[in-house]
Amino acid sequence: MPEVMTAAKPAAKAGGAQVLSVKDLQAWYGESHILHGINFHVNEGEVVTLLGRNGAGKTSTLKSVMGIIGKRTGTIQFNGKDISRASSDSIARLGVAFCPEERGIFASLDVRENLLLPPIVASGGLSLDQIFELFPNLKDRLGSQGTKLSGGEQQMLAIARILRTGARFLMLDEPTEGLAPVIIQQIGHTIARLKKEGFTILLVEQNFRFASTVADRYYVVEHGKVIDGFANSELEANMDKLHTYLGV
């Protein structure tokens, strides 16, 4: 299935090569067929958002790219390298980082231990001082166990620890879900700053109002397929369709 775009496909970001290309991605949980031919791409330096209702296949798409879902077919290329059948650890070592919706904070470890746990996969990762500049709250909570952190602090920690690894391609799954508006605003500022510093981000987000503040392009996922796509500059013209797609 070709990528579906309104009118014309948005042009690639100036100077940005294609980092991720996903073609006809199909995936299964056991016998359940969950992705039915996903097609999309992400250019270097972009923030691309997957929009869709709960159960549409957005998270499963990220997990398939990361190699977490083992039963998958189609083609996934990262920086021109076929990773369709690669293991999740080998994909991580290519510079792909995944921040899951459930955050995955180790409750028995304190903030410093959680930060230092992931291995370094490439040079250029953020130092602890740089992380604390992005998330000052974490510096004050260095000795606190994961169980004692608020939801917002856990989300900050989940994003912060992948920034240490040196990965430049970040996949963030619902980073604003259930968070207070002030924390959502801080995460938005963080994503904008990371983009400015050359990170490439694939974002899953139901809150398209938040997504509109950070995204360059959008793909709409429904029933395990990409059914539409448009650039941020086309968002206003597509609002009626978005309300229909997302049921808001």
- Structure-token match 């968070």, residue found: 179
Overall pTM > 0.75: yes
pLDDT reading at 215 higher than 50 = yes
Same domain, 82 and 141: no
Same domain, 80 and 199: yes
Where does the pLDDT of residue 248 fall: very low under 50, low under 70, confident under 90, or very high at 90 and above?
Answer: low
Which residue among 112, 138, 166 closes a domain?
166
Distance of CA 39 to the CA centre of its chain: 16
Same domain, 26 and 52: yes
Residue type, 57: G
Q: How crowded is residue 24: how many other Cβ atoms within 10 Å of its Cβ?
A: 14
Same domain, 45 and 80: yes
Task: Give the domain CATH number at 78.
Answer: 3.40.50.300
Task: Please state, for a pLDDT cut of 70, what percent of the chain lies above it.
Answer: 94
Same domain, 182 and 87: yes
Residue type, 194: L
Same domain, 187 and 208: yes
Same domain, 86 and 2: yes
Domain that includes residue 203, residue range: 1-95+168-248
Which residue among 113, 145, 166 closes a domain?
166
Structural domain count, the chain:
2
Same domain, 16 and 109: no
Residues 133-152: tens digit of each pLDDT: 999 999 999 999 988 999 99
Same domain, 81 and 173: yes
Q: For residue 240, count CB atoms less than 10 angstroms from its CB and return exposed for 0-12, middle for 13-18, buried for 19 or more.
A: exposed
Mean pLDDT, range 60-84, rounded to an integer: 96
Same domain, 162 and 174: no
> How far is the CA of 107 from the CAs of 11, 14, 147, 240, in angstroms?
44, 43, 5, 42
Same domain, 88 and 102: no
Which residue among 166, 181, 196 closes a domain?
166
Same domain, 75 and 20: yes
Tokens of 141: 């909570």
pLDDT reading at 8 higher than 80 = no
Residue type, 12: A
For residue 11, what pLDDT is reported? 38
